Amino acid sequence: MNQMEWGRNMPEEPQSEQIERHTIAVLVDNEPGVLARVIGLFSGRGYNIDSLTVTEVSHEASESRITIVTRGSPATIEQIKSQLGRLVPVHGVTDLTIKGDPLERELALVKVAGKGEKRVESLRLAEAFRAQVVDATTDHFTFEITGRIPKIENFINLMKPLGLVEVARTGAAAIGRGPEPM
């Protein structure tokens, strides 16, 4: 068999699937151990969590909402949703990304140290990004900024050369558009 014939008879390599970012909302019972079970599902199967937020959404029904931002191939995302749906305390799993462009916001506290021109520049940029000064001394500021994740990341990147000291971020809070619940 010559090289041309050999190449035609070789099986084609599978094409790699596109990695996508998805925001998934999970409605669960607000009870001890539920979050650990959800996180265990991700870690046990090697799935990564980019962002995770949890809070009680109904005191009367004792329900919490877990908002998870993760990345994976379409097949991996479907697997994650399917496995989440099978957990006992889960009442609903909604892929907000599939529902269409969810409203996502994040809060960050950004500490910047600097004097002179760098101090002035950090204040100017904070104003442009609508960040609020929540703490200040003669040698540092702590800004509070809320917005879409790219806005937060841009602000942090601009603060790096001006004396970025520390960042604390909440992770994404997200809700679907339109009148219907998740």
Domains for the chain: give ranges and CATH numbers: 20-99 (3.30.70.260), 103-175 (3.30.70.1150)
Mean pLDDT of 74-99: 93
At residue 5, does pLDDT exceed 50? no
| Alpha carbon distance 9, 84 (integer Å) | 42
Mean pLDDT of 31-60: 93
Q: What is residue 125's predicted lDDT score, i.e. its pLDDT?
A: 97
Query: Do 105 and 173 meet the contact criterion of CB atoms below 8 Å apart?
Result: yes
At residue 169, does pLDDT exceed 60? yes
The contacts of residue 129 (CB under 8 Å, 6+ apart) are: 145, 147, 151, 154, 155
Q: What is residue 6's predicted lDDT score, i.e. its pLDDT?
A: 42
Query: Do 143 and 126 meet the contact criterion of CB atoms below 8 Å apart?
Result: yes
Please provide the average confidence, as pLDDT, over all residues in the chain.
Answer: 90
pLDDT band at 16 (very low <50, low <70, confident <90, very high): low
Residues 123-142 as b/e (b if ≥16 CB within 10 A, e otherwise) read: bebbeebebeeeeeeeebbb
The model carries a pTM of: 0.80
